Each structure stands twice: as structure tokens, then as C-alpha cells.
């Protein structure tokens, strides 16, 4: 449906371009041809530059890029439609519009594969691609026919009535694209879907059941001696329903939503994780045993501004169980880390976050943490960030219990299953790919 209205709008914008270059008004054909070649060449160059900068980000969020593709196409057609108002600016306007069309085509082509793959439930990707291609051709023919009919009714003269008709077609195009993307259910984990999954995950570490866990190689504690936790995770359908894929501001399409940045600094430089080799050794010892290939650290320092909280009159101490500190969480992979290792690292970080929130500890966002830690030498009065191994150790046993089946005796790989991995599979998620 969206392709029908898009093709119809394209007919109107093409008619406006012909009007802008003077066809039908005695213009020299060679001049028109040269203008056309220049605007096509500049547009293709812009498309190449776009693809060179965004070439690794299409798989992580195909729905957002598919919507961006539709919006870029409509914006390009609107520029073409405006060209008759300023014929002297035909080349820059048409070239910019062609850049938008190239961006639209590249984004749609790159995101189409992931979307088609979500419908190929029986490994029939080729059949799905063939059927969607046939639908697109049919929709394009129908849209071209509709555009010709509208053009005939609107007349050859350019005016606001043409712009109004195009805006109506564009609204229908974007609306149809949005509603079609709501039916796409992606089973891969990107930052937004992983954040939603972890925030809504539930588990009971004291769940009593048969002893199915087993001892991890090199572990200091007997994982098999504990009851196997019960894990419940949001399903693929429920998570996709809450996913936001419409850009909130003009530059967000290039980055996408980054929910972890609110409380977790991803892939920081090593000095931000451990300032000395001794600290690094202590940190590795506090992480789950069995070959963990991620580095999670927690640093705290006294709060600079007291958090608003009701306290007894005349008392300056924090309530019982609450630390008057602020914290920074960092997470990064080590060499050879697999998607399973990173999933375990994010799970560990979420456990630490929940414990800190129970103590009303303020967790600084990634940007603020970066400025604070990297500029600590310039602000000695701000207090020193202290590595908190105790906070990591409190959640270590829980991580080991949730991933108790995930230690490979040969390679020491951390995460291959366990209750958390089984819950991922039961909820319909793929755990072999993490698109960050």
C-alpha cells in the first residue's frame, strides 16, 4: 500500500522537475540534459558517501532504517516538487533530492534482507523475497497509474494544489510503512531489545527444583549444590511491540536509541576499567570463573550533591542500607569474546544495577561518567573513584547460577546455556547473534 502512494507521489515530483528545467517552454534540450546528468552524478556521489559511513549499522535495527528510507524518499520528492518555485536553483535542489533518493534506495535494500528473514520461518528466504518483489512491482504499477490520473486532474500548471496532493500521498505512504513495520517481529538482540529484555527479566534464585546445575571448571564455589533458578523473559512479540523505531530527532537515525547509555558505559578505555595492573587482576578475580570474556567494573565515590530524600531532622546520614555515593558501571569485551560472553556480561551488569538501585545509589550515564573519570585529574576535590569489588562479588554467585550450564571444559567458554539461555530459547530469541 505504501509503495502505491509513493509511486504516485513520484509521478507528481517528476512532472515538477520537467517544469523546472523548462521542458515544453522552448528550453534547449542539451542544457536540460546537462543539468540532469549533473544532478544525477552529485546524487549518486552522496549515496556512496552515505553507504560508506553507515555500512555496518543496517543489521542492528532494520525497522528503523526501513522507516528512514521512506521518510528520505518523501523528503527528496518534496524538494523536487519545490524546484519550479526557484528554477535558478534547479541543480542544487535536484542534486540534494537525488542524494535523498539514493539514501532511501540503499537503506531500503540493506534493511530488506533482515525483514524478509524474519518472515522466513521455514528457511524459505528465497520464496519470501520473490513474493515481496512481485508485490512491490504490482504496487509500483498501481501507484504510477494513480499518479498519472492525479496529474491529469491537477493540470499541467504547478501550484500549491500539487504540493497539497503530494503531502496527502506522503502521509498515506509513511502511515502505511509504519503500520507494516509493526507486523515485523525480529528475534535478534540489539541494544534496544536487549535493554528491554533485561529490564523486564524475572528470576528466582531460591527456586527449589531438582539439581540440574553442574560444577563449572575452575569455579571456587559448587554451582551444582544450589537450586536451579527459575527465569522468565519477555517474548519476541511482546518486546517488538514496545520497540521504538521512529527517530525522535533528525540525527538519531545515524545512531539509534541507546538506552544503556543512561547507566552503563560500553567499551570504555582500559584505564577507566582498571587504573593499575593490580586492580585489573583483582577485577578478573571478582568476575565469574570459567573463562569470562568480559570486563565489568563498578566504581563509586562520595556524592557531590545529596539526593533529595526525607531524613530525620538534624541528621546528615543516609538512611539505613543506603550508600551516599554515586556509581559508574563499565562493560567491555575482551579478545575472543563471543555473543554468549557479552550476553553474560550484560546480565551481570543488570544484576549490579538492580542492587545499586535498591540502595538508592545514583548511577551516572555514559557521557557523564566519561567526563567525570577522564577529567578526575583536573578536579581533585570531586573525590577519587574507587573500584568496588564487593559489589561485583555480591552478584557473582547469581550470574554463575543463571549460566551454570555455560562452562565449556575444553575452551572455558562462559555462556552456552544455563537457565538464562534456556529462557532465551523458550521466549523465541536467538542467542548466537548480538547486534550492538
How far does CA 36 lie from the centroid of its chain? Answer: 37
Q: What is the pLDDT of residue 269?
A: 87
Q: What is the pLDDT of residue 307?
A: 47
Mean pLDDT of the chain: 76
Neighbours of 209 (CB within 10 A): 11
Q: What is the pLDDT of residue 337?
A: 77
Q: What is the pLDDT of residue 418?
A: 79
Which cell numbers hold the place of 132? 515481496
The enclosing H or E element of 210 equals none
Residue 416: phi, psi to the nearest 5? -130, -10
Q: Please tell me the pTM assigned to this model.
A: 0.76
Q: What is the pLDDT of residue 117?
A: 84
Distance, CA of 76 to CA of 380 (rounded, Å): 52
Q: What is the pLDDT of residue 75?
A: 92
- Extract the residue ranges of the chain whose pLDDT is less than 70: 1-40, 55-56, 205-228, 249-256, 289-292, 304-323, 375-383, 404-417
Which cell numbers hold the place of 149? 490520473
pLDDT tens column, 331-342: 988 877 778 788
Q: What is the pLDDT of residue 426?
A: 87
Nearest to 118 by CA among 191, 187, 190, 192: 187
Q: What is the pLDDT of residue 140?
A: 85
Helices 160-181, 62-82: inter-axial angle, 10-degree rounding? 170
Nearest to 189 by CA among 365, 420, 395: 420
Cross-strand bridge partners of residue 72: none
Q: What is the pLDDT of residue 70?
A: 92
Distance, CA of 223 to CA of 415 (rounded, Å): 14
Q: What is the pLDDT of residue 4?
A: 64
Amino acid at each position: 500500500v505504501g509503495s502505491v502512494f509513493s509511486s504516485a507521489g513520484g509521478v507528481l515530483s517528476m512532472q515538477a522537475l520537467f517544469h523546472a528545467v523548462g521542458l515544453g517552454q522552448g528550453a534547449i534540450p542539451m542544457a536540460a540534459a546537462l543539468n540532469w546528468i549533473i544532478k544525477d552524478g552529485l546524487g549518486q556521489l552522496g549515496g556512496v558517501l552515505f553507504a560508506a559511513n553507515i555500512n555496518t549499522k543496517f543489521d542492528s535495527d532494520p525497522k528503523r532504517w526501513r522507516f528512514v528510507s521512506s521518510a528520505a524518499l518523501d523528503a527528496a520528492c518534496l524538494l523536487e516538487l519545490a524546484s519550479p518555485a526557484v528554477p535558478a536553483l534547479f541543480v542544487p535542489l535536484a542534486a540534494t533530492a537525488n542524494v535523498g533518493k539514493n539514501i532511501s534506495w540503499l537503506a531500503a535494500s540493506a534493511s530488506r534482507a533482515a525483514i524478509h528473514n524474519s518472515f522466513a520461518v521455514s528457511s524459505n528466504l528465497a520464496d519470501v523475497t520473490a513474493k515481496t518483489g512481485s508485490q512491490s512491482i504490482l504496487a509500483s504499477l498501481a501507484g504510477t497509474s494513480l499518479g498519472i490520473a492525479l496529474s491529469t486532474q491537477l493540470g499541467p500548471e504547478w501550484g500549491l494544489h500539487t504540493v497539497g496532493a503530494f503531502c496527502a500521498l506522503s502521509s498515506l505512504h509513511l502511515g502505511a510503512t509504519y503500520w507494516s513495520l509493526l507486523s515485523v517481529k525480529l528475534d535478534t538482540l540489539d541494544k534496544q531489545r536487549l535493554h528491554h529484555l533485561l529490564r523486564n527479566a524475572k528470576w528466582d534464585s531460591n527456586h527449589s527444583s531438582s539439581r540440574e546445575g553442574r560444577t563449572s571448571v575452575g569455579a571456587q564455589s559448587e554451582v551444582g549444590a544450589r537450586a536451579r533458578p527459575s527465569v522468565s523473559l519477555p517474548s519476541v512479540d511482546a518486546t517488538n511491540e514496545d520497540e521504538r523505531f521512529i527517530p525522535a530527532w533528525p540525527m538519531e537515525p545515524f545512531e539509534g536509541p541507546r538506552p544503556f547509555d543512561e547507566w552503563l558505559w560500553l567499551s570504555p578505555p582500559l584505564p577507566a576499567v582498571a587504573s593499575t595492573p593490580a586492580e585489573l587482576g583483582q577485577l578478573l578475580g571478582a568476575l565469574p570463573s570459567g573463562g569470562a570474556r568480559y570486563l565489568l567494573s563498578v566504581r563509586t565515590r562520595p556524592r557531590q550533591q545529596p539526593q533529595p530524600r526525607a531524613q530525620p531532622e538534624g541528621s546528615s546520614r543516609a538512611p539505613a542500607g543506603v550508600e551516599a555515593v554515586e556509581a559508574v558501571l563499565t562493560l567491555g569485551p575482551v579478545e575472543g569474546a563471543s555473543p554468549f560472553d557479552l550476553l553474560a556480561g550484560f546480565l551481570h551488569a543488570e544484576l549490579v544495577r538492580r542492587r545499586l538501585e535498591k540502595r538508592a545509589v545514583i548511577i551516572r550515564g555514559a557521557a557523564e561518567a566519561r567526563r567525570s573519570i577522564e577529567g578526575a585529574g583536573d578536579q581533585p576535590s570531586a573525590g577519587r573513584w574507587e573500584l568496588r569489588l564487593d559489589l561485583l562479588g555480591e552478584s557473582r554467585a547469581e550470574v554463575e547460577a543463571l549460566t551454570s550450564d555455560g562452562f565449556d571444559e575444553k575452551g572455558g567458554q562462559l555462556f552456552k546455556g544455563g537457565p538464562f539461555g534456556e529462557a532465551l530459547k523458550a521466549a523465541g530469541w536467538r542467542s548466537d547473534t548480538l547486534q550492538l
